[in-house]
Structure 1
Amino acid sequence: MAVHVVWEIGLLLLAGGVLFALTRASSGPFAEGSWNGLMAALAPLVLAATAAAVSLRVGAINLAVGPIALLSAWMFIDASSSGTVVSIGMGLGAAVFAGVVLATLCTWLRVPGWAASGAVGGAIGLWAGTSGDPAAFMLAELPTTGVVAAVAAGVGLSVFLGLVGSFTGVRTRLAPIRDTPVGERHGRGGLVFFGTLLSAALAGAAGVTAAWAGAPAQGAAALPDPILMSVLAVGAALLGGTSLLGRRGGVCGTVFASTLLLAFMWLAESRGWSFDAGWIGLGAIVAGFLVTRLVEAMNTPDEADVASSSRAGEVSDLREDEPAAPQERDELYEEYDEDLAAVGSGGDPWATTGSMPRVGADPFGASGAFDDLRQTHPGDGYDGARYDDADRRYLR
């Protein structure tokens, strides 16, 4: 996680610098909407970027984040005359339905995420082109406290999911998805289904938040641009440190990258730079490719570490590390074993067939080392003196 920490600190500093320059602008979106307008635009972007990041982590990238947000916003606005709860339920319900379809394609039919989401996004786009405009928006404008709550919920959810994804156990369970070729069974279909469904639900929440926070006092709210939202969401997820190959990602990088992109878009508009905002999102995607390569390079272990870790815990390693006893010593150990067996059975250890001396019951006669003690030598001064154990004195 060291590379993610360093990169996220850099993103935080860069986003803070762009925000500082934005607050000094005398014209543009920030001058008109101030911090409330910035948070109203940041909340749906953070939710959409989190949706893209979740799909990347499970190896099924969701390119239909924008179309699903458009569908949810359309349903939310159209059902606004039925009340807040019903309209929110309709918007999120449509996103969940699209998520079930997308997850089924990715898990049951094993369709790659980009292809399945492209089909779902294309179907939503065709539907939106023929359905016309939704009914007039009948709910009250989202208050400032609601905008702050939406931003806090989006940021908190993004950070929470990043923390969960940083656990070693979670990354280990996501590893088979990353290592298995597309179209083959990897045994993690439940995780892919849940991640894809969660991604669609977050995209739907982004659409509802964008429609509600950007609603005028009266009349129909502006629907989010599906293509721009998808490009910005994927760009913020990649720029925040989520790997394009799956499994790996940061904690706060998605939030910092979303803030940086939105602040840079508003800064470009306030300075009068004549280029479309979509190029900023596309540039973020290209920069995200480089970030992915950086993350992958810094997370790749050495070959020696891989070789040692792959053999860790094997019984064969313990046998190989033990020094082998010479073969010729085994016969000697067998002789000693026979001596110990004779002692245990009450036999005479000096009469065994082992390597020890074999002479009756007299151990001293076996080697002759103590013959001088039994024979007299006049030259030694004792002249045949002997030691009597009974009287414990020398006798002549």
Structure 2
Amino acid sequence: MAYDDSRFRGEPGFREEPDFRSSGVPEDAPTLGVSNQSVYTPGSFPVSPAYGPAPTESTLGLGEGRRRAPTPQQLGDVFDDPEHGEPGRDRLAVHALWEMVLLLAAGALLYLLHDARSAALRGTELQSLLLYGAELGLLAAAMGLTLRAGAVNLAVGPIAIAAALFFADNSDRGLAMTASITALIALGVGVVIAVLVVAFHVPGWAASLAVSLALVAWIADQHTQKTVNGAYDPHHHAVWWALGVVVIAAGGAAFGLIQPLRRSLGRFRPVRDPADRRGGGAATYTGLSIAGSALLAAVAGVLLALDHREVLAADGSIGGLAFTGLALGAALVGGTSAFGRRGGVFGTILAVAGMTLLLRYTDAEGWKLQPFTLAAGAIAVGLVVTRLVETFGRPRSVTGEAGEESWTPPSIVSAAEPEDSWQPPSSRTSGWSTNGNGDGGWGVEERWGTR
């Protein structure tokens, strides 16, 4: 007969034992401070509300991924905000080394040009060489500015050609007045691109390419040749124009070495999900960079018109795309990263000097080097330079005292594990663990079952 026969209930000496086969606990069992509101289900561990919420998946198993909280100094070094990027300053040694290579390459091309045609470095030919370098340098500086902002402006070439056509067509109204109106119109075009980029948070290359195609269509509709009417001849000040462009490009790049400015200018650099907006500060700096690049392109267009005196609309569309390719190639070869923010100081100017000397040297040798060919090769080399800059220019891992682990942004570690945090026995590699039967692995059914 079974021990739980109802005939024995109530008899002297009869004692009821708790049924350990069930998944619950006896109602009169001592709780040891655990509230009766604790709920236990098979496969889980009962946790009292007095000890806080049950461990969640986000706080379990993070022992290997724990990172120490960043210090205020580390947070100050993050390039945009604490949730993105790496703490620490960009390393500039890679830029210095690469600029030395560019300097040697430009020196070698200068020697080759002098050996092939020494007259190219004297008189009017030297003035034309300097003016062409100034025009390309202004466009490269404009391109480099938007590259650093993370929103490249591919319309700088067509803007320059359109500005040259407009200035030449209206130059009879006065040099200063026409140049000012041309600059304002180009600035308006830059504002249109900036609004498209920052308002809709779209890539700069896409918005600027659309505007560039619209400008190419406008240039193609100008069927007549435009001639500049005016007495000013920039050839007499070619050296000063070249020096001015060097100051603009190198000076702007030097300002980019200032950590807060460099960090703010590069906030539009792509991180995480591209749908995440980068904030009002990023939109402001990016918009100003795009507008400023259009203004520099307008200055290059005015100088181009004054240099050649006659602007052919038929070649304007092709020339605009060629200028864009050359400017982009010069900025990338100079060490400006295609991803934004990172760049050197003299790299863009040295790249422009090398490309200008290469074009003049191949012309002196009688070779047929098309601007599109040079632009394609420069962009290809520039992409390799971008990988070098990104690889060797990133901040070193910030480490604390000996034995401390390096800090990573909170975007990587979703939740910080508290010190001495409790883990349920089910997550330990040793000890007892619960299973789906709720018997705690002790074989209750087998040991306490009926006999």
Superposed, 1:243-262 pairs within 5 Å as: 243-262=337-356
Relative to structure 1, the CA distance from residue 182 to residue 73 in structure 2 (aligned partners, 3 Å threshold; closer, same or farther) is farther
Q: Give deviations 1:169-200, integer Å, cap 9, x for gaps.
A: 12322454224343431011001101111111
Partner Cα separation in structure 1 for residue 376 and residue 186 of structure 2: 25
Partner Cα separation in structure 1 for residue 124 and residue 199 of structure 2: 46
Match status 1:111 vs 2:205: no
Q: 2:139 aligns with which of 48, 56, 61?
A: 48
Q: Give deviations 1:80-137, integer Å, cap 9, x for gaps.
A: 1011111211221221011011111111122211101100100001111113336432
Match status 1:200 vs 2:298: no
Match status 1:79 vs 2:170: yes
Contact 1:214 1:222 in 2 (8 A): no
Aligned twin of 1:8: 99
Aligned twin of 1:182: 274
Contact 1:44 1:206 in 2 (8 A): yes
Q: Give deviations 1:11-57, integer Å, cap 9, x for gaps.
A: 11110110121122238966884321110111100000000000100
SS in 2 for 1:241: coil
SS in 2 for 1:108: helix
Contact 2:224 2:312 in 1 (8 A): no
Partner Cα separation in structure 2 for residue 30 and residue 211 of structure 1: 23
Structure number with higher helix proportion: 1
SS in 2 for 1:308: coil
Partner Cα separation in structure 1 for residue 339 and residue 112 of structure 2: 34
Superposed, 1:12-27 pairs within 5 Å as: 12-26=103-117
Contact 1:25 1:31 in 2 (8 A): no
Contact 2:106 2:354 in 1 (8 A): yes
Q: 1:238 aligns with which of 332, 339, 342?
A: 332
* Residue identity opposite 2:179 in structure 1: I
Aligned twin of 1:308: 406
Aligned twin of 2:125: 34
Aligned twin of 1:159: 250
Q: Name which structure has the greater RCO, CA cutoff 8 Å, separation 6+.
A: 2
Sequence identity (%): 34
4+ runs of 1 displaced by more than 6 Å?
none
Moved more, 302-311 or 93-102: 302-311
* Residue identity opposite 1:308 in structure 2: S
Residue 204 of structure 1: CA displacement?
Answer: 1.0
Q: Give deviations 1:282-341, integer Å, cap 9, x for gaps.
A: 101000001000001102345564953559xxxxx9x98xxxxxxxxxxxxxxxxxxxxx
Partner Cα separation in structure 1 for residue 348 and residue 342 of structure 2: 13
Matched length: 311
Q: Give deviations 1:361-384, integer Å, cap 9, x for gaps.
A: xxxxxxxxxxxxxxxxxxxxxxxx
Aligned twin of 1:296: 390
Relative to structure 1, the CA distance from residue 118 to residue 179 in structure 2 (aligned partners, 3 Å threshold; closer, same or farther) is closer
Contact 1:28 1:269 in 2 (8 A): no
Aligned twin of 1:70: 161
* Residue identity opposite 2:104 in structure 1: L
In structure 2, stretches of 5+ residues that fail to align are 1-91, 410-415, 420-451
Contact 1:211 1:222 in 2 (8 A): no
SS in 2 for 1:24: helix
Partner Cα separation in structure 2 for residue 113 and residue 54 of structure 1: 12
Contact 1:261 1:281 in 2 (8 A): no
* Residue identity opposite 2:141 in structure 1: T
Partner Cα separation in structure 1 for residue 101 and residue 276 of structure 2: 38
